[in-house]
Structure 1
Amino acid sequence: MEQVKATPIWASVIAWAAAIWIAYELLWYEQYKLTGNEGSVYLFTILSDWLGSPGGEKPFRLFVGIMEIAASILVLIPRTQGVGGLFAAGIMAGAIFFHTVSPLGIDPYGDGGVLFKEACFTFLMGLLVAWIRRAQILALLPRSLAARLPFKAA
């Protein structure tokens, strides 16, 4: 069995800084999603209508909020930090997708696209955490599948 090298301290510091950013960013917006803030309701109404589910704003908004809370928790637990980074990146990929292809647009509030820029940065931070903690992620894969991957965990 191959021994996995320890993550260098500088990489761990970067991973933790990125993880703290992700958790802060995602949890900051929960106050809007979970309380039904009019701006959040507005955005999710546009999306639910566009997706063909008029009136589905609230369940959609709450579902996204709950997923963001879960990603925030996972990224702050040392043993699940890599998975949390991937989860956060996936959520932010969805946000980027909806901002770019739906009527929501990149700048729905006319503020220079702050939400879109934050989603892009948080997406990159999630990928960074996942890359630094890739050995954690690979350890979750069955041995036979991990052996077939074209790269090795550092």
Structure 2
Amino acid sequence: MKKEVLLWILRIVASVILLQTLYFKFSGAEESIYIFTALGIEPYGRIGSAIAELIVAILILIPRTSWIGAIGGCGIMSGAILSHLFVLGLVVKDDGGLLFSLAVITLLCCLGLLYYNKSKLFNLLN
């Protein structure tokens, strides 16, 4: 019972963080445009990452596919974290490091989901 509750907490936290950024990416918010311009991939990177995050968030929320979404989430958040570390900086447009922190939290949630679904991952590799 406790494991199921923890899995749902990990799923919901990761999905809510992924979904809350979609509005800013799809609407072309100033901060999103700034980030993807700095990365040299505006507008296609912004729209593409928003679509990828939407798909990943949905996969994470479905118990049978949450491990697939978690793999995608790890990839997306690793890219976001590396972008912050090597291009953007930890603080973007005076956000106090919020975007970086949310990326780390999402990555940790996805890693937790993968840990609890490691048997599915091992079956995939065999």
In 2, the alpha carbon distance for the partners of 1:133 and 1:76 equals: 14
Match of 1:151 in 2: none
Percent of pairs with identical residues: 36
Residue 96 of structure 1 aligns with an amino acid whose one-letter code is: I
Q: Which residue of 1 aligns with 2:13?
A: 21
How far, CA to CA, are the matches of 2:95 and 2:54 in structure 1? 25
The CA deviation at 1:138 is 3.0
Question: Does the aligned pair in 2 maintain the 1:71–1:87 contact within 8 Å?
Answer: yes
Using the size of structure 2 for normalisation, the TM-score is 0.94
More helix by share: 2
Following superposition, the deviation at residue 82 of structure 1 comes to 1.1
Give aligned pairs, total: 126
Following superposition, which runs of at least 4 residues in structure 1 exceed 6 angstroms of deviation? none
Corresponding residue for residue 131 of structure 1: 115
The aligned runs of 1:5-154 (5 Å cut-off) are: 9-48=1-40, 56-102=41-87, 104-139=88-123, 141=124, 145-146=125-126
Give the number of the structure whose alpha-carbon radius of gyration is greater: 1
- The two structures, once aligned, show a CA RMSD in angstroms of 1.2
Distance 1:37 1:29 in 2: 10
Secondary structure of 2:27's match? Answer: coil
SS at match of 1:34: helix
User: After alignment, is 117-126 or 82-91 more displaced?
Assistant: 82-91
